[in-house]
Amino acid sequence: MNVLTDNFSDYGAGFLGTLELTVYASLLALALGFLMASFRVAPVGSLRIFGTVWVAVLRNTPLTLLFFAVLLGLPRFGLVLPFEVFAVLALGCYTSAFICEALRSGINTVPRGQGEAARSLGMTFGQTLSLVVLPQAFRSVIPPVGSTLIALAKNSAIAGAFSVTELLGTYKTLNELGYSIIWTFVWIAVGYLVITLAISAVFHALERRWGVAR
Amino acid sequence: MTAAPALYDVPGPRARRRHALYGALSTVVLLALLAWILYLLFHTGQFTATKWTPFEYQGIQLLLLRGLGNTLKAFAIAAVLSLALGGVLATGRLSDHRPVRALATLVVEFFRAMPVLVMIFFIFVALKVQPLPALVAGLTLYNGSVLAEVFRSGVHAVERGQREAAFALGMRKTQVMAHVLVPQAVRAMLPAFISQLVVALKDTSLGFLITYEEFLHAGKLIASNLDYDLPFIPVVMVISPIYIGMCMLLSWFAGWVSRREQRSPKTEAVAHAPAGPGALLPGGEPPMAPEP
């Protein structure tokens, strides 16, 4: 127990680091994922191909490799940013591929007649998408997007191994200070559980409010 | 389920011209992006001979191959063990005995909620295990738990009539499971199993972080060599196609099995789990078969 109370500031910094990474990377992933999903359903061929390639490549890239390429590779281009920004970039891009697929399969759950009806009323592509299809798709994508973001929170642990301040990384400091390693990890585990359970609670609430009644 | 909703009409001549214009514009933008990246690559001297000669040396090729071999070894052991653990945990979760069920549920839920990396580090640092067993144990615990969930949802997705008919014939619970439910569930969940193995393959790269000498580790060794002018980008350009290629191959195999199973008459009585993105996602919910 005193592992936590003695090192509350260390744990706090790590916890906040993980939280920050998760929030920023989630925002990036949601924005990019939305963009890619709209590319993938667009009537323009080259955008569709770009979206498809983006998803196929990122979904099959090990996240460690992506971190390796972004955190150690991009600085070779003379692009020097704080490691936190690189970590958000890597996590966000990686997760955007999964968000894109969740959104796309959400669009596919909207019955065909809805889009046809909207079009027969003379709505344009943008109107059909934003006024008819997306509001309905939104309801059915809440659970998959929620589990994607939970996975993102868990994946942010990799950033800690690339020397970004983050919850898992706190074990090194505490290990050097000679605290019980088992308890150190127990409290790290509790920290992650708090974050993932919070995300899951938020999405359960969203689903109760907006979800499709099945 | 119908195909994608009709978002736009079959375009007429004017719309086709407009789309062609958009297409040309976006192609130009994408090509410009590509050209800019290439310019950056050349400008920062990533294609100089010093950075690429190391790949001609046999020692370095052997180093990379050994790394790849270690990656595949970790993957193979972890895959076999997680399938076994998944089977055991799923049996526990489907048990008739409440304590067994509760224990299995606790184990599955805990290991699914923990980041794999935290478990691997815990086993590696706290239990002072060698890198390979630590990596394999972490991957097994996590993927085994996910596979158990996939397996259980598969058994539950078999049409109720199958179970009822088997019981009505006088089969015992074990017989119903072994002869009726499990064979159908395994068939239907095969794509999801393979997709989860893609996750395991991707996660073997976490071994890099605990100094397991796998593929990425070999790459790092070459990349941080001053003699070759720190060839980070060339290393990434060499190893990422191999990694991504392996994962894509396995993903494609999952998709192929899925399409095959969909046509098979033997999976009629069970809702089919496609090899969806959720299945490929580390930490994602296991693909829940839609209710029949």
Is the CB of B113 less than 8 angstroms away from the CB of A193? yes
pLDDT score of B4:
53
Is the CB of A154 less than 8 angstroms away from the CB of B122? no
* Angle, in degrees to the nearest 10, between helices B58-93 and B98-113: 150
For residue range B111-168, list pLDDT tens digits in order.
988 899 999 999 998 888 899 999 999 999 999 999 999 999 889 888 889 999 999 9
Is the CB of A44 less than 8 angstroms away from the CB of B23? yes
pLDDT > 70 in chain B, percent: 88
pLDDT score of B78:
95
Contact, B171 vs B179, CB < 8 A?
Answer: yes
pLDDT score of B281:
38
Is the CB of A102 less than 8 angstroms away from the CB of B203? no
Contact, B213 vs B66, CB < 8 A?
Answer: yes
- Looking at the domain assignment, is residue A21 inside a domain? yes
pLDDT score of B285:
42
pLDDT band for position B5 (cuts 50, 70, 90): low
pLDDT band for position B271 (cuts 50, 70, 90): low
Residue B159 has φ and ψ, to the nearest 5°, of -50, 140
**How many other C-beta atoms lie within 10 A of the C-beta of residue A185?**
22
Is the CB of B118 less than 8 angstroms away from the CB of A151? no
- The single-letter DSSP state of residue B175 is H
pLDDT score of A113:
87
pLDDT score of B274:
54
* Position A146, amino acid: G
What is the distance between the alpha carbons of residues A21 and B86, in angstroms, rounded to a whole number?
32
- The single-letter DSSP state of residue B270 is B
For residue A51, give the chain B residue with the closest CA: B30
Is the CB of A60 less than 8 angstroms away from the CB of B26? no
CB pairs under 8 A between A and B: 184
Among B40-49, B191-200, B245-254, the least confident range: B40-49
| C-alpha distance from A80 to closest chain B C-alpha (Å) | 14
Q: In Å, how far are A81, A205, B49, B280 from B255, measured between CA atoms?
A: 39, 33, 41, 11
Q: Which of B2, B117, B251 sits opposite A158 (nearest CB)?
A: B117
What is the distance between the alpha carbons of residues A159 and A49, in angstroms, rounded to a whole number?
30
> Which residues in chain B touch residue A143, judged by CB atoms under 8 angstroms apart?
285
Is the CB of A154 less than 8 angstroms away from the CB of B233? no
Number of compact structural domains in chain A: 1
Whether pLDDT at B1 is above 60: no
Mean pLDDT, residues A130-150 taken together? 88
pLDDT band for position B6 (cuts 50, 70, 90): low
Q: Domain of A79: which CATH number? A: 1.10.3720.10
Is the CB of B126 less than 8 angstroms away from the CB of A148? no
For residue range B66-92, list pLDDT tens digits in order.
999 999 999 999 999 999 999 999 999
> Which residues in chain A touch residue B247, judged by CB atoms under 8 angstroms apart?
60-62
Residue keyed to tokens 């304590």? B99
| CA angle centred on B212, ends A67 and B206, rounded to 5° | 35
| C-alpha distance from B170 to closest chain A C-alpha (Å) | 35
What average pLDDT is seen over chain A? 87
| C-alpha distance from A142 to closest chain B C-alpha (Å) | 13
Whether pLDDT at A64 is above 70: yes
- Looking at the domain assignment, is residue A72 inside a domain? yes
pLDDT > 90 in chain B, percent: 46
| C-alpha distance from B114 to closest chain A C-alpha (Å) | 7
Structural domain boundaries, residue A47: 15-166
Is the CB of A161 less than 8 angstroms away from the CB of B233? no
> Which residues in chain A touch residue B236, judged by CB atoms under 8 angstroms apart?
65, 68-69, 73
Q: Could you state, in order of their start, the residue ranges of all structural domains in chain B?
A: 62-280
Mutation site for A-interface testing, chosen from B7, B214, B280 by largest number of A Cβ within 10 Å: B7
| C-alpha distance from A32 to closest chain B C-alpha (Å) | 16
What is the distance between the alpha carbons of residues A113 and A109, in angstroms, rounded to a whole number?
11
Is the CB of A101 less than 8 angstroms away from the CB of B276? yes
Mutation site for B-interface testing, chosen from A48, A67, A68 by largest number of B Cβ within 10 Å: A68
More confident residue, B27 or B276: B27
pLDDT score of A109:
83
Q: What homologous superfamily is domain B62-280 in, according to CATH?
A: MetI-like (1.10.3720.10)
For residue range B114-124, list pLDDT tens digits in order.
899 999 999 99
Whether pLDDT at B288 is above 60: no
For residue range A8-33, list pLDDT tens digits in order.
888 888 899 899 999 999 999 999 99
pLDDT score of A134:
83
Is the CB of A147 less than 8 angstroms away from the CB of B284? yes
More confident residue, A88 or B285: A88
More confident residue, A174 or A152: A152
Token pair of B118 as six digits: 């935290």
- Looking at the domain assignment, is residue A45 inside a domain? yes
Task: Give this prediction's pTM.
Answer: 0.86
pLDDT score of B144:
95
